[in-house]
Structures are given as C-alpha cells and as structure tokens.
A and B are shown apart, each in its own frame.
Chain A
Amino acid sequence: MATKKFMYLNRRSSFGTVYAIESLEVVLIAAAFEQDVSLAFMDDGVYQIVEGQETDGIGMKNFSKTFHALGDYDINKLYVSKESLEERGLSESDLMPLVYEDEDDDWEEKPSVKVVTNDELKAIMSEQDVCLSF
C-alpha cells in the first residue's frame, strides 16, 4: 500500500466537545495502516497535551494518557503552535514530555513534541498529502 503523509489538525480542547478524543481514535487507525502521520496542535487544541490533567472531578475518561502511547505506533511528529501557547500563557514546559524510541539511533528516547511558529507550521502543512481537521 502506498504511504501518504497525513496531518491531523487539533484545534479544540479535550473535554468540551468530542473532537479531541475522536481525532486521537482516527490517528491510531491511520497508524495501524502504517501511514506517515503527524499531529498539529493549535488554538485551544494545545490544551490537549498539557501536563497534569486530572479528570476524577468531572467523571470523564482521562485520555490524555493515550498520547504517551503514540511513540510506540511510530507517531513521533507532534507540532505545537508557539503563538497559540503564548496566547494562553503556556510554554513547552507545561506540556506532557512525550517521547519515542528512535530505532535508527540505538532506540534512544527522543522528544516527540516540537514547538513551531505558525510560519514553520505553514511549511510543514504544505508538504502533506492529506490534512484532517478536528
């Protein structure tokens, strides 16, 4: 099967709508078909990967933990909009430390999250075959 470059744009926060969890489901499906998957987080979507989400008080599944599994599915390109973080008073240190093991580098653990400017994101998006927006 031909491999295409898929990008998933995540623009909503985690629990107010179903967009965030549905996106994550579809991302895992794409990975199962061994496609070249990358994720972008912008606008309120940056809240999806904020460290320290604790959902006991709202009775909803804390699916933020699932992001830690993405590395095992060879999904290791998570781009986060610098502008969106700054607007929300957040920085890279507020995000979950998501990593993957690089098989080309003796399985060394490397960060999956990369904070990029909107200009950089523009260039990354233009390389994609498919962009899916959530």
Chain B
Amino acid sequence: MLHTVNKSSFERNSLQSCLNTIDDSSVILFIEDGVINAANNANSSMIADLAANGRVFALQGDVDARGISSKLADNIKLVDYSGFVDLVVEHGTAVSWV
C-alpha cells in the first residue's frame, strides 16, 4: 500500500496514526505540509527506521516550496509528480492521511 501524509507532525497526529497501522511492505509519501516530516527535526526519529529501509518518499515540489531541500533527514527519497504516479501504480491501494 501507499500511504500519503499531508500534515506536519507538529500540527496534527496524521503521521503517528499512519505509523500505528502501516504494514511491513507499505511505503509513505509526504506531500504538501507533510514534507515537514521529511526534514531533520525533533520528530525525525518517528520515521528513521522506515527511511533507512528506503520506504519514505517526499514530493520534490513541496519540499522546494518550503525551503527545506537542504534540511532533509537521512534516506528520504525525493520524487516528482510522475514519480508519485509510479508509486501509486507500484503499490496499489492508497491511503490518504489527511
């Protein structure tokens, strides 16, 4: 499955709810304000293990808009919109944690 998260973990508990229920083969894509979760910050430990396994993605355009492209946590994979489509195709069912 593909899980998209579009809220900052400093603002909402969407990411935590996602992490509580994500299975071992699913991936997370951060979009919109969700890309704040891809920055190296006090909440980075939440996703560190998943990222180390190559299962955490962030949408490039949203990262650039927030001025955090040089501040990303380790092992975050950046994708553009066509990469987003590829993730949808590859992982089937999408869950949107709005």
Q: Which residues of A approach B to under 8 Å, CB–CB? A: 12-16, 43-44, 47, 50-58, 60, 62, 64, 86-90, 94
| Bound-state Cα–Cα, A55 to B62, Å | 8
| Stretch binding the partner chain, chosen from B47-55, B63-71, B85-93 | B63-71
Contact A88 B65 (CB under 8 A): no
Q: Which 10 A-B pairs have the closest CB atoms?
A: A57-B61, A16-B33, A50-B67, A89-B41, A52-B67, A53-B67, A54-B64, A87-B42, A55-B65, A88-B41
Q: Which residues of B approach A to under 8 Å, CB–CB? A: 6-8, 10-11, 32-33, 36, 39-42, 44, 60-62, 64-71, 80
**Can you give 27 A-B contacts (C-beta < 8 A)?**
A13-B36, A13-B66, A14-B66, A15-B62, A15-B65, A43-B10, A44-B8, A47-B68, A50-B66, A52-B67, A53-B64, A53-B65, A54-B64, A54-B65, A54-B67, A57-B64, A62-B65, A64-B67, A87-B41, A87-B42, A88-B10, A88-B36, A88-B39, A89-B39, A89-B71, A90-B71, A94-B67
**Chain A residue, CB-CB nearest to B62:** A58
Q: Give the A-B contact count at a CB cut-off of 8 A.
A: 78
Contact A58 B42 (CB under 8 A): no
Q: Which of A15, A56, A89 contacts B66 (CB under 8 A)?
A: A15
Which residues on the A side are within 8 Å of B6 (C-beta)?
16
| Bound-state Cα–Cα, A18 to B28, Å | 25
